[in-house]
Amino acid sequence: MHTLRNILAAWILAAAALAAQTVEGHVVDSVTGIGIPDVAVEIFRDFAKVYAPTTDIQGRFRLEDVQEGVYTVFYKAPNYQPAREGGSQFKVVKGAGPVHLEAAMIQTGKVSGRVLDGAGKPVPKAIIQLDHEIDNGGFRQIFDANEKGEYSAAVLPGTLTLAATAPSSWTPPEPPPDSPGVTPDAQRLGWALTYYPSVANAELAAKIDVPAGGEVSKLDIKLAAVPVHRIRGVVLDLRGDPVSKLSVTLGTGVMLGAQSLHQDTKPDDGTFEFAAAADGDWNLSAAVIKDGVKLWAHQKVQIKGGDLENIQLRLSPPFSIQGKIVMEVPEGMPVPKPPSVMVEYSDMSAAVPDRINVGGLFNPDGKGDFTVTNLYPGSYVIQPGFLSPTTGPYYLDSIRLGERDALESVQIESGALPITVTYKLNGGTVRGSVESCGAGEVLLIPQDPALRRNGFIHQTSCAQNGRFEIPAVRPGEYYGFALAVDAPAGVRRKLHGFHPELDQNLINQSVRITVRSNEATLADLRPIKQ
């Protein structure tokens, strides 16, 4: 116990002995290395924007008298996208010398074209889906065409696939001519999610290569027609009684977030029917405010070659669960201030209505206790906030819902199980050097995939002599990575973000590091090349 007290006291004294609060940065073009002017720099602390400088003609910015704390920075500029997805974290310690930030941005390209129906007519407000391929990973953009069925979008250079579908208001395709033995229902058609140039199968989609700063135009998509089916069901209240005249939404979720259909339940029996839904995964939802309480129902359904019958949407009220931050404190030492906790609804396919608030940011009291409110049955991510630099050498040890790990998305159906977030002392230290690191960075990523998320991943910058040190690391097995300022954008996207993507190529370029309690581990790294 005295060892823990000595470690904590030494860490606090060392932090207090350091001195400065300046943050300066340089934002450059990832290809040319030239500074980018007029970049909007947005710096957040505890999910609130606290600083917003703009780069000068050389791509530099400087902030004085920055308060100590852990920050996240984002960069925005016309015709550019950050080379790394998401924000970068950095720490300011009172008196610790200037913090130097380096960022690279990629000049965007452009794609444009039209969306046409089967007769060649432009489709106003067609829904566009762009899937970007980034070194076996990727991300998705979704937006609407204009009133003439035309679209134009800034995109990162690279390979992408393009798809579109019609809004629910667009006239459905004409049914095929009557055929012997074919029922009218079997002939009903709807507009499919159609890949460029005109295929409903994603595997047959054409690949589109977009150069940096270039444009690929005249990418016209002709929508394909597919069979559609009916979905029938009923909305029930808390007592199991039908709910009449309530709007029910049928949506395609993350596939095409803007595509949704709406129907009101019948006044006599609370039933609903959607007459034209194509094969695939859909989401049904309904919401109502009753006696001041917001009730919500959500259910996933799958259509596969036929109608769906007897669906029951059961409205649920919000509930609360209790939580606690547990921090290991040596005898006689003050209890550190516990961090906030974000509990976020993670089922992105659910299309949560505007009037429904789900989860949020919750601050514990001095004992670490907090109450999570506004929860509905569903999938959630539990994300602890960042500790203050003066808190001490703590590491995040575990996140639990009841007795089970809650490192990934967890299903929460009621308030029966508490959330427990545990921080411990006795972590290890990793220090070493990086060859030709410059102003690059070092990342420690757990080898256990379940731990590859914020809170368990460590990130720091190289000093001018290429050396680095990361204290308070959770004991375990890690991959060590070094990234130079000009590291490939695809590599940055894979290693940064909430869940890093480690393929065998990246693992082969890492250094395997074992971290033990109260021990320092030496590791010499080389920057990743590709």
Q: What is the pLDDT of residue 438?
A: 66
pLDDT digits (tens, 9 = 90+) for 85-95: 667 788 887 76
Count of CA atoms in the C-beta half-sphere (13 A) of 58: 7
pLDDT grade for 50, boundaries at 50, 70 and 90: very high
Mean pLDDT score of the chain, rounded to an integer? 85
Torsion region of 466: left, alpha or beta (phi above 0 gives left; psi -120 to 50 gives alpha): left
Q: What is the pLDDT of residue 8?
A: 46
Q: What is the pLDDT of residue 155?
A: 87
User: Do you know the residue count of the chain?
Assistant: 530
More confident residue, 166 or 85: 166
pLDDT grade for 19, boundaries at 50, 70 and 90: very low
3-state helix vs strand vs coil in the chain, percent to 5: 10, 50, 45
Q: What is the pLDDT of residue 244?
A: 94
Would you give the end-to-end CA distance of the chain in angstroms? 46
Is residue 9 scored above 60 in pLDDT?
no
pLDDT mean over 24-34: 87
More confident residue, 256 or 142: 142
The answer to whether the beta carbons of residues 301 and 263 sit under 8 Å apart is no
Is residue 257 scored above 70 in pLDDT?
no
**Range with lowest mean pLDDT among 1-15, 184-198, 239-253, 460-474:** 1-15
Residue 115, SS3? Answer: strand
Residue 201: Cβ-neighbour burial (10 angstroms; 0-12, 13-18, 19+): exposed
pLDDT digits (tens, 9 = 90+) for 433-467: 988 776 678 999 999 999 998 889 998 887 778 88
| 310-330 residues labelled b (16+ CB within 10 A) or e (exposed) | ebebbbbebbebebbbebbbb
Q: What is the pLDDT of residue 85?
A: 64
Residue 171: Cβ-neighbour burial (10 angstroms; 0-12, 13-18, 19+): exposed
Is residue 183 scored above 70 in pLDDT?
no
pLDDT grade for 217, boundaries at 50, 70 and 90: very high
More confident residue, 98 or 313: 313
Per-residue DSSP letters for 361-375?
A: EE---TTSEEEEEEE
Q: What is the pLDDT of residue 348?
A: 62
Q: E-assigned strands of 385-466?
A: 395-401, 404-405, 410-412, 419-424, 428-434, 441-446, 458-461
Q: How far apart are CA 366 and CA 371, in angstroms?
A: 13
Is residue 193 scored above 70 in pLDDT?
yes
Q: What is the pLDDT of residue 1?
A: 46
**Range with lowest mean pLDDT among 13-27, 313-327, 470-484:** 13-27
With a pLDDT cut of 70, the percent of the chain lying above it is: 87
The neighbour count for residue 31, using CB atoms within 10 Å, is 16
pLDDT grade for 311, boundaries at 50, 70 and 90: very high
Q: pTM above the 0.85 mark? A: no
The neighbour count for residue 156, using CB atoms within 10 Å, is 24
pLDDT grade for 181, boundaries at 50, 70 and 90: very low
With a pLDDT cut of 90, the percent of the chain lying above it is: 49
Residue 148, SS3? Answer: coil
Is residue 259 scored above 80 in pLDDT?
no
pLDDT digits (tens, 9 = 90+) for 281-291: 888 999 998 88
Q: What is the pLDDT of residue 32?
A: 82
- All domains of the chain, ordered by start, with CATH? 2-107 (2.60.40.10), 109-172+189-226 (2.60.40.1120), 228-314 (2.60.40.10), 319-424 (2.60.40), 428-525 (2.60.40.10)
Pair of tokens at residue 498: 């909430």
pLDDT grade for 97, boundaries at 50, 70 and 90: confident
Is residue 185 scored above 70 in pLDDT?
no
Which residues are 498's β-sheet partners? none
Residue 11, SS3? Answer: helix
More confident residue, 340 or 132: 340
Is residue 299 scored above 80 in pLDDT?
yes
**Range with lowest mean pLDDT among 187-191, 233-237, 436-440:** 436-440
Per-residue DSSP letters for 245-301?
A: S-EEEEE-GGGSTT-EEEEEPPTTT-EEEEEEEESEEEEEEEEEEETTEEEEEEEEE
More confident residue, 1 or 130: 130
Q: E-assigned strands of 108-147?
A: 109-116, 127-134, 137-144
Q: How far is CA 247 from CA 228, 266, 273, in A?
A: 21, 10, 11
Is residue 487 scored above 50 in pLDDT?
yes
Is residue 182 scored above 80 in pLDDT?
no
pLDDT digits (tens, 9 = 90+) for 396-419: 999 999 999 999 889 999 999 999
The answer to whether the beta carbons of residues 395 and 352 sit under 8 Å apart is no
User: Which residues does 348 contact at the CB level (< 8 Å), separation at least 6?
Assistant: 253, 254
Q: What is the pLDDT of residue 530?
A: 67
Pair of tokens at residue 227: 């069979």
pLDDT grade for 196, boundaries at 50, 70 and 90: very high
Q: What is the pLDDT of residue 277?
A: 85
Find the farthest-apart pair of alpha carbons in the chain and give their distance in angstroms, rounded: 89
Q: How far apart are CA 433 and CA 478, in angstroms?
A: 17
pLDDT digits (tens, 9 = 90+) for 343-387: 998 876 666 776 677 888 999 998 999 999 999 998 999 999 888
Q: Is the peptide bond before 53 cis (omega within 30 degrees of 0)?
A: no
